[in-house]
């Protein structure tokens, strides 16, 4: 689908249900509520739905959102790469999606119409362009949604996926009345006490190998239970393993249930995380990948260390 076709689709659609992905993040929710508001400003009916409850953490995106009553005619998925990511509650929509707007190169083309821009830092960046072609003016609320999606998906403009376009869009979005500094504090700096506690314990127990080129962080069920941390609060914990400058591969071993470890691997440019995890039946991205291994903690650790020793690079 081209941008002009996408524009036409949006202009012609009505009574829209917008699907966001499960375990929702700033980009999928930013897209959902920005598109919903845009459609409503155009005089159309629209709702946003999700497999889970909308997280309180993102409540500023939907503070003035309300559910509309209408007979659904159009289903649009935003920032959804695969129907599996809709979650069980929205699974019934899997074969009924009229349009998908996404930025994942892995998009499985499940929708009747698909607009994918894999170079876009965030799906919200696609909407930013789309909205400039529509007969509607962005307002403060929409600007806040789009800014949040772009900022969160780029790690506040820190990651490799940040583009000049992302900066340009945010330069424009900042001219609206949005408290971007407060949003960024909420998204990037603020932590729950439980999260602080588990980070502290994790860092305390961090082990370093091969002249600090490899770090291993072990989170047993006991540690996790003691911290009181909820499942949703584990996001980003794996990246702590890369904090020490020399580390090229940071490995987090989280005990999901007795004797079953979820292994999260984060790497710097010297090491391919995806290839590393493939050795253990897992996969993922080049700098962030994962796998699952069952067995005795010490055996698993030795296996992983042996593999890590082969991939770290002497500088």
Which residues inside 151-170 make contact with a second copy, applying CB under 8 A? 151, 156-160, 162-165, 167-168, 170
- Is the distance from CB of 251 to CB of 263 less than 8 angstroms? yes
**Binding segment for a second copy among 25-33, 95-103, 238-246, 289-297 (CB under 8 A)?**
238-246
Q: Which of 95, 139, 200, 230 binds a second copy (CB under 8 A)?
A: 200
- Our finding on whether 272 is near a second copy (CB under 8 A) is no
- Rounded Cα gap, residues 236 and 184, in angstroms: 15
Q: Which pairing describes strands 46-49 and 16-19: parallel, antiparallel, or unpaired?
A: parallel
Rg (CA), the chain: 21
239 scored as a contact of a second copy (CB under 8 A): yes
Cβ–Cβ contacts within 10 Å for residue 174, how many?
12
Q: C-beta of 202: minimal distance to a second copy in Å?
A: 9
Distance from C-alpha of 198 to C-alpha of 214, rounded to nearest angstrom: 21
Q: Is 11 in the site for a second copy (CB under 8 A)?
A: no
Would you count residue 206 as binding a second copy (CB under 8 A)?
Answer: yes
Q: Which residues contact 36 (CB under 8 A, 6 or more apart)?
A: 16, 18, 46, 47, 48, 65
CB 151 within 8 A of CB 42: no
- Residue 315, interface with a second copy (CB under 8 A)? no
Structure tokens at 297: 């903690």
The verdict on 245 binding a second copy (CB under 8 A) reads yes
Stretch that binds a second copy, among 68-76, 80-88, 103-111, 193-201 (CB under 8 A): 193-201
Contact residues for a second copy, defined by CB under 8 A: 151, 156-160, 162-165, 167-168, 170-172, 174-175, 180-182, 184-186, 188-193, 196, 199-200, 203-204, 206, 208, 212, 239, 242-245, 268-269
């Amino acid at each position: 689908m081209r941008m002009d076709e996408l524009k036409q689709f949006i202009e012609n659609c009505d009574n829209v249900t917008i699907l966001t992905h499960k375990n929702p993040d700033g980009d999928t929710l930013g897209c959902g509520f920005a598109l919903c508001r845009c459609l409503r400003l155009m005089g159309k009916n629209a709702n946003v739905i999700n497999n889970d409850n909308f997280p309180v953490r993102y409540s500023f995106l939907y503070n003035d959102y309300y559910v509309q009553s209408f007979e659904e005619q159009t289903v649009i998925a935003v920032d959804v790469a695969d129907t599996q990511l809709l979650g069980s509650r929205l699974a019934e929509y899997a074969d009924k999606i009229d349009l998908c707007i996404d930025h994942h190169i892995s998009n499985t083309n499940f929708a009747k119409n698909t607009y994918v821009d894999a170079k876009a830092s965030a799906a919200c960046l696609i909407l930013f362009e789309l909205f400039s072609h529509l007969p509607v003016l962005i307002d403060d609320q929409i600007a806040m949604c789009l800014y949040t999606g772009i900022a969160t998906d780029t790690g506040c403009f820190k990651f490799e996926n940040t583009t000049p376009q992302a900066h340009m869009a945010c330069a424009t979005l900042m001219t609206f009345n949005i408290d971007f500094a407060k949003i960024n504090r909420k998204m990037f700096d603020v932590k729950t006490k439980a999260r602080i506690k588990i980070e502290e314990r994790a860092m305390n127990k961090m082990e370093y190998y091969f002249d600090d080129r490899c770090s291993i962080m072990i989170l047993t069920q006991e540690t996790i239970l003691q911290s009181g941390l909820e499942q949703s609060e584990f996001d980003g914990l794996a990246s702590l393993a890369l904090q020490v400058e020399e580390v090229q591969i940071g490995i987090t071993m989280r005990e999901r249930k007795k004797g079953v470890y979820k292994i999260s691997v984060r790497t710097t440019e010297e090491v391919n995380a995806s290839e590393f995890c493939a050795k253990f039946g897992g996969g993922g991205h080049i700098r962030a990948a994962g796998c699952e291994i069952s067995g005795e903690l010490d055996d698993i650790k030795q296996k992983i260390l042996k593999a890590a020793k082969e991939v770290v690079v002497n500088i």
